[in-house]
């Protein structure tokens, strides 16, 4: 069994990008994360060989164990998720909005969670990384990232590391939950704690399950739409003993381009969905207020051992 299969602690940027040199982006090929992804592809993403699948299963089990040990230190109502597309440009106004929302919520004691990749996911962790910093510092850091708009452009990873070096973060935390199934999309190093899985289905369910404090949905494609309905089903059945806020950012996108919001409203009005806590806005301050308004005393009690 390869020595990377069992984890006692979550990953972070230092472990995934152990040999990365910001002055040489090709050095990613020498990194732990790159080697694991290459092995994953070489042995088959959908392998049926027990010698391949069993170590992966043991790895993912150990990651889940480490994840829930980490979350034991957090009130479940303070764990908030962001869902959105990996293709979102760093220069996009929505990217800045997501980052500002995440920064503000982190400063209010929330643990921000995402799928741990680029785009809206990176914006989540960039914002959390800049928590405690001034607006001027946020703007300078964001401009440092604009050398590469997406993860497909040279400088995407290097610029993130340069921001992290310029503005070290020692107080605030965030949690990324990526997967090697999409290993061609690098995990954002801005996440201070990274639970990286082989199995995407476990990863998807984990994100939706642990974010008791609410989920913010930003524009995305098929994956984001899937997550909306997964969360709606969880809330309808109160799978986690509570219905969490579903805050949508992007009125035109979610009512016209991909009109899931009016559909959910209609289903809720007709009793086809129950317990959904829906809101929608184009303004970051509105989203922040919706999340902060969700308080433990107004929600169904979650067992003390929810994260244990």
Q: What is the pLDDT of residues 12-47, one digit of tens each?
A: 999 999 999 999 999 999 999 999 999 999 999 999
Residue 304: pLDDT band (50, 70, 90) is low
What residue numbers bound the domain in which 222 lies? 13-296
In a domain, 308, yes or no: no
Q: How far apart are CA 300 and CA 10, in angstroms?
A: 30
- Identify which of 81, 88, 82 has the alpha carbon closest to the alpha carbon of residue 220: 88
Interval 165-194 mean pLDDT: 97
Predicted local confidence at residue 44, as pLDDT: 96
Whole-number percent of the chain with pLDDT over 90: 93
Nearest 10 degrees: Cα torsion 153, 173, 239, 218 = -40
- Identify which of 117, 132, 208, 220 has the alpha carbon closest to the alpha carbon of residue 168: 132
Predicted local confidence at residue 95, as pLDDT: 98
Q: Per-residue pLDDT tens for 248-264?
A: 999 999 999 999 999 99
The count of domains in the chain is 1
In a domain, 185, yes or no: yes
b/e code 15-54 from CB counts within 10 Å (16+ = b): bbbeebebeebebbeebbbbebbeebeeeeeeeeeeebbe
Whole-number percent of the chain with pLDDT over 70: 94
Nearest 10 degrees: Cα torsion 28, 31, 35, 37 = -60
Residue 240: pLDDT band (50, 70, 90) is confident
Q: Per-residue pLDDT tens for 52-76?
A: 999 999 999 999 999 999 999 999 9
Mean pLDDT, the chain, integer: 94
Q: Per-residue pLDDT tens for 274-288?
A: 999 999 999 999 999
In a domain, 225, yes or no: yes
Q: How far is CA 199 from CA 45, 112, 174, 203, 206, in A?
A: 9, 22, 21, 6, 11
Predicted local confidence at residue 139, as pLDDT: 98
Predicted local confidence at residue 307, as pLDDT: 63
CATH number, domain at 30? 3.40.50.450
**Residue pair 209/178 in contact by the 8 Å Cβ criterion:** no
Predicted local confidence at residue 296, as pLDDT: 56
In a domain, 6, yes or no: no
In a domain, 86, yes or no: yes
The angle subtended at Cα 134 by Cα 151 and Cα 73, nearest 5°, is 75
The angle subtended at Cα 221 by Cα 138 and Cα 271, nearest 5°, is 105
| Partners of residue 175 on adjacent β-strands | 113, 193
Q: How far apart are CA 130 and CA 122, in angstroms?
A: 12
- In the chain, which ranges are E strands? 79-83, 111-114, 174-176, 193-194, 215-217, 245-249, 277-281
Residue 297 pLDDT > 80 = no
Residue 308: pLDDT band (50, 70, 90) is low
- Identify which of 280, 155, 153, 143 has the alpha carbon closest to the alpha carbon of residue 219: 280
Predicted local confidence at residue 302, as pLDDT: 54
In a domain, 83, yes or no: yes
* pTM of the predicted protein model: 0.95
Q: Per-residue pLDDT tens for 113-148?
A: 999 999 999 999 999 999 999 999 999 999 999 999
Interval 234-258 mean pLDDT: 96
In a domain, 3, yes or no: no
Q: How far apart are CA 119 and CA 123, in angstroms?
A: 6
- Identify which of 93, 105, 158 has the alpha carbon closest to the alpha carbon of residue 130: 105
Count of alpha carbons within 13 angstroms of residue 173, beta-carbon side? 12
Q: Per-residue pLDDT tens for 76-111?
A: 999 999 999 999 999 999 999 999 999 999 999 999
Residue 4: pLDDT band (50, 70, 90) is low
In a domain, 1, yes or no: no
The angle subtended at Cα 196 by Cα 111 and Cα 16, nearest 5°, is 100
- Longest distance between any two alpha carbons in the chain, whole Å: 57
């Amino acid at each position: 069994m390869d020595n990377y299969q069992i984890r006692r602690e979550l990953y972070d940027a230092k472990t995934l990008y152990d040999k990365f040199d910001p002055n040489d982006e090709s050095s990613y090929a020498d990194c732990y994360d790159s080697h694991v992804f290459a092995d994953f592809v070489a042995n088959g993403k959908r392998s049926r060989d027990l010698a391949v699948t069993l170590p992966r299963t043991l790895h993912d089990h150990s990651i889940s164990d480490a994840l829930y040990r980490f979350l034991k230190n957090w009130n479940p109502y303070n764990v908030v998720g962001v869902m959105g597309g990996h293709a979102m440009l760093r220069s996009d106004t929505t990217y800045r909005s997501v980052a500002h929302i995440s920064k503000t919520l982190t400063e209010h004691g929330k643990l921000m969670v995402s799928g741990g990749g680029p785009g809206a996911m990176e914006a989540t962790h960039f914002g959390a990384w800049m928590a405690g910093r001034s607006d001027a510092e946020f703007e300078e850091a964001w401009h440092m990232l604009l050398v590469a708009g997406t993860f497909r452009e040279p400088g995407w990873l290097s610029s993130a590391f340069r921001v992290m070096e310029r503005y070290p973060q020692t107080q605030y935390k965030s949690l990324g939950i990526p997967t090697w199934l999409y290993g061609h999309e690098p995990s954002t190093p801005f996440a201070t704690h990274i639970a990286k899985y082989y199995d995407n289905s476990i990863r998807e369910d984990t994100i939706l399950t642990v974010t008791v404090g609410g989920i913010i949905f930003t524009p995305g494609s098929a994956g984001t739409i899937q997550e909306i309905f997964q969360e709606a089903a969880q809330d309808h059945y109160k799978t986690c003993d509570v219905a969490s806020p579903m805050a949508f950012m992007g009125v035109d996108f979610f009512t016209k381009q991909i009109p899931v919001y009016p559909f959910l409203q209609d289903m809720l009005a007709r009793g086809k969905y129950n317990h959904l806590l829906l809101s929608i806005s184009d303004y970051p301050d509105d989203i922040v207020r919706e999340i902060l308004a969700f308080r433990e005393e107004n929600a169904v009690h979650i067992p003390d051992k929810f994260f244990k």
